[in-house]
A and B are shown apart, each in its own frame.
Chain A
Amino acid sequence: MISSSFWAMGGYARYVWPCFAFACLVLAWNLWAARRFRVAAQLRARRAMEMAAVEET
């Protein structure tokens, strides 16, 4: 499908592909970590809201 010379990158494959792989990793980590952070913040806010509701009663 994609020719082997593309994968070989003129002999520099062992530098080029790890480079792009690390870039993908960093981008994926950013998305994952940001989502996890937001979810944790929402959970904490929900808990604070419930505690406040309990205290009001």
Chain B
Amino acid sequence: MWTWFYKLASPPYVYGVAAALIPWLLGGAALAMVYGLIAGLAIAPPDYQQGEAYRMIYVHVPSAVLSLTIYTVMAAASAVALIWRIKVGHAVSAAAAPIGASFTLLALVTGSLWGRPMWGTYWAWDPRLTSELILLFLYVGVMSLRSAFEDPSRGDRAAALLATVGVVNVPIVHFSVVWWNSLHQGATIVRLGAPKMPGSMLWPLLSMWLGFMLFFAAVLCIRLQGEVLNRERQSTWVREAVKS
């Protein structure tokens, strides 16, 4: 049962699996996003309170959820790499970091553009916005630490430790709207009980979320191929893989 886990520890296996998955992931992402955008922008009705402005939810929420998910993936891969000394974990972590940082930036910018018409300000020092900004700093810190070392494997391990330590921020971001008085809306979907959103608005949102996840997986695979090659440059399997 655990053979798939052991296989994933092998760099050439991961390289091959990533290569095979990329077109499927990109295709699935495109389908999900096309449906999500059409249904979300054109078919879903305007909101009672926010009018047409609420449609920014279709990029803001998926990007925010992705920013947290990607950090968790990065931290989990780092922890696996540190504890079981599986080098592929470092490759996954290094590949995920820039993608996660870009989605965090996207969440902050889309949130800012949404905040201006709704709250009257582009920015507020609100618990959720502040903790999301801290998340961006954590991503940048992990990437900077990795690149600061001349020895790449030492850089990998240092960045892995930092990523693991920083994962405490992820629940802080998620629960910030519960623990503190926040300007930001509370949990609408990931909560006990039924989601607080009507189906016509919810399905495009879930579709965009799925699309973003598949897109992340695709880009991760592309970057992972590069990261694996960089770490295994001297191996014989690389010669075969690169000849084609």
Contact = CB atoms under 8 A, between A and B. Distances in A.
* A-B complex is real: yes
Interface of A: 6, 9-12, 15-16, 18-20, 22-23, 26-27, 29-31, 33-35, 37-38, 40-42, 44-46, 48-49, 52
Contacts of A41: 225-227, 229-230
B233 A34 contact: no
A44 B102 CA distance: 26
19 contacts: A9-B53, A10-B52, A11-B51, A15-B53, A19-B56, A20-B59, A22-B113, A26-B102, A30-B99, A34-B226, A38-B223, A41-B226, A42-B226, A44-B230, A45-B229, A45-B230, A48-B233, A48-B238, A49-B242
A19 B102 contact: no
Interface in B216-244: 219, 222-223, 225-227, 229-230, 233-234, 238-239, 241-242
Given A22-B110, A23-B59, A49-B239, A37 B52 contact: no
Given A10-B53, A49-B239, A15 B116 contact: yes
B226 A38 contact: yes
B117 A12 contact: yes
A38 B218 CA distance: 13
Contacts of A20: 56, 59
B225 A38 contact: yes
Contacts of A6: 41-42
Contacts of A11: 51-52
A46 B243 CA distance: 8
A45 B51 contact: no
Q: Is the interface of B mostly helix, strand, loop or mixed?
A: helix
Given A41-B225, A46-B242, A10 B51 contact: yes
A37 B53 contact: no
Given A12-B117, A45-B242, A37 B56 contact: no
Contacts of B113: 15-16, 18-19, 22
Nearest to A43: B242
Contacts of B110: 19, 22-23
Contacts of A42: 226, 229, 242
A6 B113 CA distance: 19
Given A34-B219, A45-B238, A26 B227 contact: no
